[in-house]
Structure 1
């Protein structure tokens, strides 16, 4: 059994799987949340091989379904007494724009689904924060946040391109971490967003249109999933002193805090996003 417990979404491949294996090697017990059952079981076995001494649980959820996310959160709350690290890693880019309850599907899965999960696991995170002063929430964002616009959030835009949908998702992930840091201040919880770099993953190969072609051509120059996972692993496992107390709520790349450059990254927009998402929980 490990000394700490981490939940990782989208842990069946790519950055999520690499993150899970690295944390297993650092003696974390793990709860892997996956959508695909076969790939999830393969990932569970893979992670367990990385360290047979830790516990590796596997749960299934569709982040584009609020009911599915609530159910997996209920299961975790029933079977665990505390949670040290939550890594909202899963990403979703559709081949075409689709909507769930009037919300663009990738935004629902990438932001709203993770918001619901985080909200319902907050008591477990607070438990760890109270016990150790050190619980952490990590959102996988991307430098694509630069192309995001909060004006498109929650709107049904039929001609929205998958590329800009992805940019919006990554901006929301960043803003969510920023507001989490504000709302959990003084409770032993810290929150961060991460740019993993350009990584060779199935996610990239499945990206449609022009952006998919760019990923395909640039593939040989991209980082391995293991390299892409390094910042998530750093934020999950490094001492808080190494991360820096003043960097709570910050955006990290290459295991270092980075400045952000989007006029929508403000305290006001982060608060607005939280309040706008809250009715979905």
Structure 2
């Protein structure tokens, strides 16, 4: 049994798998949330090899299917009444722009935004009791959301809107901006509960992310591969935020955006307290 328990979304490959292995080596019990059970089982076995002494559980859900997100959250809460760390890692790059109409209040939300932001928002909400239980018991529960330097190209005005000529690059940038804003507001929403929240830029990482993306953006992902960091290097900031003492992270840095294990200034006019609160309120109807 490990000293703490962490749930990681998208843990079957790339950054998620590298993060899981690193946390297993730091004696964390792991819950791997994957969309594909077969790939998840392979990842589960690999993480277990990293430290046979810890528990490595697998749950399956599709972040673009909110019913499955709610169901898996209920399953996790039943087995793990206390959750020390939630890492919203899973990313989604569409092969084409599509819109989802499942939401309660919107005529159409772009699918990658739906999976990357809305899915993680709903998951976090439904795991909040387990996070608060850990926060109450230890004064230290954490939620880490994977953003990216691509947040610079994000625009909040595009959130929740059906824009038929939206580019794949703009959609990706919007997702990353939303991940950053979510962490910023989550820190405020959970103030006084023992929960801290952070967003992360892992650097340009060499993974299969974007492998199916067509056109110019797909070529960029492909050509840049040899210049990118390994998943292990890219996971270092997430691992730092999940496992380092809070004093090493900095008490004033709750809600902050981190890269290379350090707090970074943001440079997008949409990164404001007002936009973060607005995003939170617009996301609540999906819960």
What's the TM-score bracket when you normalise by the shorter of the two chains?
Answer: over 0.9
Contact 1:73–1:121 under 8 Å retained in 2: yes
Instruction: Give the match for residue 104 of structure 2.
Output: none
| Aligned residue among 228, 236, 240 for 1:234 | 240
2:19 aligned residue: 19
Is contact 2:140–2:196 with CA below 8 Å preserved after alignment?
yes
- For residues 206-245 of structure 1, the aligned pairs below 5 Å read 206-245=212-251
The more displaced of 207-216 and 132-141 is 207-216
- Contact 1:162–1:208 (Cα < 8 Å) also in 2: no
Q: Secondary structure at the match of 1:127?
A: helix
Q: Please tell me whether the aligned partners of residues 136 and 194 of structure 2 are also in contact (alpha carbons under 8 angstroms).
A: yes
Match of 1:111?
117
Instruction: Indicate the SS of the match to 1:155.
Output: coil
Contact 1:69–1:116 (CA under 8 A) maintained in structure 2? yes
Query: What RMSD in Å do the two structures reach over aligned CA positions?
Result: 0.7
Is the contact made by 2:96 and 2:213 (CA closer than 8 Å) also made in structure 1? no
Name the count of aligned residue pairs.
281
Counterparts of 2:213 and 2:5, CA distance in 1: 32
Match of 1:44 in 2: 44
TM-score (normalizing by structure 2) = 0.97
Which residue number corresponds to residue 199 of structure 2? 193
1:208 deviates by 2.7
CA distance in 2, matches of 1:127, 1:268: 29
| TM-score (norm: length of structure 1) | 0.99
C-alpha contact 2:237 2:258 (8 A) present in aligned 1 = yes
Q: Is the 8 A contact 1:177 1:250 kept in 2?
A: yes
Runs of 5+ unmatched residues, structure 2: 102-107
Query: How many angstroms apart in 1 are the aligned matches of 2:252 and 2:130?
Result: 24
Distance in 2, matches of 1:94 and 1:144, equals: 16
The answer to whether the 8 A contact 2:93-2:210 is kept is no
For structure 1, the residue ranges without an aligned partner over 5 or more in a row are none
Written as runs of structure 1 = structure 2, the 5 A alignment for 1:104-183 is 104-183=110-189
Secondary structure of 1:217's aligned partner: helix
- Counterparts of 1:228-267 in structure 2, within 5 Å, are 228-267=234-273
Greater Cα shift, 199-208 or 85-94: 199-208
1:160 match: secondary structure: coil
> Matched residues in 2 for 1:42 and 1:148: separation?
34
Cα distance in 2, alignment partners of residues 82 and 114 from structure 1: 18
Distance 2:97 2:206 in 1: 23
Q: Distance in 2 between matches of 1:275 and 1:99?
A: 21
